[in-house]
Amino acid sequence: MTTPSLPIIRLRPNANARAIRRGAPWVFSNELVLDRRTKALAPGSIAILEDAERTPLALVTVNPESKIIARVLGPADGPRPDVEWFAARLSRALELRERLFTSPYYRLVHAEADGLPGVIIDRFGDACVIQPNAAWADLLLDELAEALARVTGVTSILKNSGGRGRQLEGLDDVDMVLRGTAPDAPVPVEMNDAIYMADLTGGQKTGLFYDQRPNHAFAARLCRDAKVLDVFSHVGGFALAGLAGGAASALAVDASAPALDLAAQGAERMGASARFATRQGDAFDTLAALASEDARFDVVICDPPAFAPNKPALEKGLRAYERIARLSASLVEEGGYLVLCSCSHAADLEKFTGACLRGIGRAGRRAVLLHTGFAGPDHPLMPQLAESGYLKALVFRL
C-alpha cells in the first residue's frame, strides 16, 4: 500500500531557514506562507517544511490555529509518527532517566528537548501523567500511550489537560484515564530524603514539580537547625526538604488548602509533624502580615508561579518579583539566607536577578549571591529554545 504524500508548507523568503537547519524547533505564523491550503490544514497535521527555494527542511506538525504554527519532528525524509516512532524516542528518554535516578520518579519527557514537541510526561512509579500540550500529540495520544506502556511497563497512564499550552493550541481541558486506573490516593514520592504526596488527578499540573529537585537539595544544606519559611510551598516544596535537612521548624505558606494538606501528610510520613506548620493565604498578604508580627526566619524561600509567562507580561512580572524580594528580605535574620525562584521563561536570568536585587535593596538589606540553580537534568535544556531553560533559583545571604 502506497503511503499518502504529505502536504507541503513553505517559509517566507525573509524567514530564517538557517535556524531550522541548526536545530530550532519552532516556526511562528509570521514566518510561514499562509496560503489557502496551509490555513486549511487540520490542527495536528503532519507536513514537510520547505525553505523559500523549495528545499525540504524538516518533518513538522502543523497547527494553523496556534502562534507556533509548526513544530519540528525530525528530518524531512524521516519516518512519520506511529507507535514504533514514539517507542524509540521514549526509550531514549528512559535510558537517560535510569542513569540519573535509582527510583522511577522523575520527568520522563521534557517536550522538545526529548524529541516530543509540546509533550510532558511525569512518572510516578507505576503511573505516568501525560500533558499533550500540542495538537499533534492530542491526535496521536493512543499511539503515544501504547508506546509508553510498552517501554516503561507502567500500569496507569493519565492525561492531564490543565496546561496553559493547550489553551494556546485550541485544545480541550478534559482529563482522562488512558490506561489502567487512576490512583485512589495521593502517591508518596521521596526526593532528597523528604516525602511529597502527589495528587495525580486533582493536584496542580501533573501532581508534583520535579524540576526543583537539585535546588531543594542545595537549600536543605542551609536549613540545619534553622527556622524556615517556604512561601508558595505547594505540597511542601522547600519546607519538607528543609525538614529533611535538619531544620528546627518550617512554615509552609500557600493559597491552596488542599496543597497544604498534602504537605502536612508528607511531614507526617517523615515523622516531622512537630516541626512543621502551615498558613493558608495570599503570599503577598501573608508576607506583609508576618512582617507586622515581627516574625523572623533564618531561611526564607519564595517559589512563585510564573509572574511573566510571556513577553507582554514581562514588566508587570518583574515588578511582582521585585515586590516578593522586598517583602521576603525583610523577614530574614541577619546573616540568614533568601532563596528566590522564577519559572518565567520571559524573565531571563539577568532580568530576574536585577528585579531580586532591587527588591532586596528596597528592603534595606545587602546581599551576596551564593548559588544560581536551574532545573534538574530530567528537564534538559534545548540550546536552540530559550523557553526550555525557564527555571532559575537564586540563593542569597543577607
Catalytic residues: 343
- The CB density around residue 39, as the number of other CB atoms within 10 Å, is 10
What single letter denotes the amino acid at residue 197? Answer: M
DSSP 8-state class, residue 153: -
How is residue 102 written as a grid cell? 535509582
- Give CA–CA dist 217/211, Å, rounded: 12
Alpha-carbon dihedral sign for residues 275, 280, 282, 287: negative
Identify whether the C-beta of residue 309 lies closer than 8 Å to the C-beta of residue 321: no
- Cα separation of 177 and 160, whole Å? 9
At 329, phi and psi to the nearest 5? Answer: -60, -35
Nearest in space to 382 (alpha carbons), one of 78, 22, 17: 22
266 Cβ contact list (under 8 Å, min separation 6): 188, 194, 195, 196, 197, 235, 236, 240
Q: What gap in Å lies between CA 364 and CA 375, rounded to an integer?
A: 30
Q: Which of 376, 382, 314, 201 shows the shortest CA–CA distance to 391?
A: 376
Q: Where are the alpha helices (DSSP H) in the chain?
A: 17-21, 36-39, 83-100, 135-139, 141-152, 164-168, 213-222, 237-244, 257-269, 283-292, 314-329, 349-362
Cβ proximity of 331 and 227 under 8 Å:
no
